[in-house]
Amino acid sequence: MTDGIVNVLKPPGMTSHDVVSRVRRIYGIKKAGHSGTLDPDAAGVLPVFVGHATRLLEYAATGKKHYRAEGIFGIRTDTGDDSGNVLETKPAPAFSATEFEIVLQQFRGKILQIPPMYSALKVNGKKLYEYAREGIVIERSARPVEIFRLECIKLYPPYFILDIECSKGTYIRTLLEDIAAALGTCACMTFLLRTRAGVFSIKDSHTLDEIAYNPDSVLLPLETAVCKTGKLYVNDLQAFRITNGVRTTVKGTASGTYSLYLADAFLGMVTVEDEVVKPEKILFQVKQPQEPA
């Protein structure tokens, strides 16, 4: 079975699910999933995990995301971007770049966000956008997110372009709407490009056509998803015990989460507490080593 990760350059006009389906066909595999949904109209980095790599999706999803977003002041839509129906128009007040910067400062760091109705967030097993298409509005609680970087790249009213680095679960459309509200107007997003998702950068991404042309050449190793995690190297017997579900003491190992290795072979993910190694996501089992004759 094919195992690995593809750093896809998602084009606008495709859903994230469409991209995964195309990757499945290219590699002739059923087991695949993406790390972090991109809106259909958005473009940029969409890591797709295939085969055993899908078991590492939860680790990749925690990484920071980087975006370049364009918005327009004075228009509010039901989707939060310019693909939706216009709900409201307002004059865009005149303000300077300095005044804009003062407002942006309010949104740096830890903030609360109410997820938009047009999102893939599930409530009672159903995605919010499915409710929205039926004209149903669901009560949503504000959720904490973190904005690590928020810079104005260009301000040319009524348009503006922001460079954003944020935590997982941040809705850029909502961020632009909230910034506009703080300025006394409304806004919607007109373009979104994800330039980085965790360790996956746009400069290393590949179009679907490039992937189809030479699938093996762009397939990254499984451990790419957890390359920022500390590595724990064990011997043959320890590897056998841990990969077969046995908690094993490895003296001198600090508590935390680790990528487990036997020599150069990546075996999966483990957690350590009080020097005891607990298997979490074992991808490959090691056979019992033979005792010397």
Annotated catalytic residues are: 39
d(CA 164, CA 76): 21
d(CA 258, CA 84): 44
Element (H, E) at 105: helix 97-105
Strand order in the sheet with 276-282: 230-233, 256-262, 265-273, 276-282, 248-249
The number of beta carbons lying within 10 Å of the beta carbon of residue 6 is 26
Q: Say if CB 70 and CB 161 are below 8 A apart.
A: yes
d(CA 22, CA 44): 16
